[in-house]
Amino acid sequence: MYSELELSRLKTANAEAMNLALKQQIHPHFLFNALNTLKALYHKDTQIADDYIVHMANFLRASIYHNTANISMLKDEVALLMDYLEMQRIRFGAALDCTIDVSNETLNNYYLPSFSLQPLLENAIKHNTFTLEDPLKVKISQQAGWLIVSNHIQKKKMKVASTGYGLANLAERYKLCSGNEIIIEETASIFSVSIKLLSNEYSNH
């Protein structure tokens, strides 16, 4: 029979393997969308396409580090998100209005599972319709010990096929990392996902 220490190590190794497998679902989906966007941009404006490549390269470079870590400092998650956000702003311009209202103290002292924020922004973009006249408003804010990502609901008339990798993936990885659940809420006008911020004690969970 296994000792308690051996069981603990097996449990940790299994959680890390599952976490890595879940994270690896993100990259092919991201690359497929990014390369299709890049192809379209080169047909329109090569300078804009070149700018897109810069942010894409930054995102992928940071992803190499993130892929080896189950948990990332919040400031690194936000930096990763910013490159993804700039890529989307190149595509959509002012039709995408994303604000981040998080204190420097929180950014520098709390953690999230790696690749937590980018899929949430991608999810909002995927499921809503938006224009320059009626932009998609996404807000990332903190409330007590929680990080909240919310957007106004402007659902597309045609139902979008879902791969199931987004929210379900994040929920499973968050549970593996911390044992906690994410909170998903939807009203008539607002969709939000709340994630409990992890303190330093969880950083090597």
The gap between the terminal CA atoms of the chain, to the nearest Å, is: 25
Q: Pairing mode, if any, of strands 96-101 and 136-143?
A: parallel
197 phi, psi to nearest 5 deg: -70, 140
Q: Which long-range contacts (CB under 8 A, 24 or more apart) does 198-203 make?
A: 198/71, 198/110, 198/111, 198/112, 198/113, 199/109, 199/110, 199/111, 200/109, 200/111, 202/71, 202/111, 202/177, 202/178, 203/71, 203/73, 203/111
pLDDT at 19 over 50: no
The 10s digit of each residue's pLDDT in 109-147 is: 999 888 889 889 988 998 999 999 999 999 999 998 999
Q: Which is more confident, 32 or 97? A: 97
pLDDT at 148: 96
Q: Domain range spanning residue 53?
A: 4-202
Nearest to 83 by CA among 61, 107, 55: 55
Number of domains composing the chain: 1
For 138, the 3-state DSSP assignment is strand
- Whichever domain contains 97, its CATH number is 3.30.565.10
pLDDT at 69: 67
pLDDT at 20 over 60: no
Q: Give the helix ranges, DSSP H, for 67-144.
A: 74-92, 104-109, 117-127
Give CA–CA dist 197/148, Å, rounded.
10
Give CA–CA dist 137/181, Å, rounded.
25
Give CA–CA dist 127/155, Å, rounded.
6
Query: How sure is the predictor about 171, in pLDDT bands with cuts at 50, 70 and 90?
Result: confident
Q: Note whether 187 and 148 are within 8 A (CB).
A: no
Query: How sure is the predictor about 205, in pLDDT bands with cuts at 50, 70 and 90?
Result: very low
pLDDT at 153: 94
Nearest to 124 by CA among 64, 84, 174, 172: 84
Q: Which is more confident, 163 or 158? A: 158
Average pLDDT taken over every residue of the chain: 80
pLDDT at 60: 79
Q: Pairing mode, if any, of strands 183-186 and 146-152?
A: unpaired
Q: How many CA atoms lie within 13 A of 96 on its CB side?
A: 17
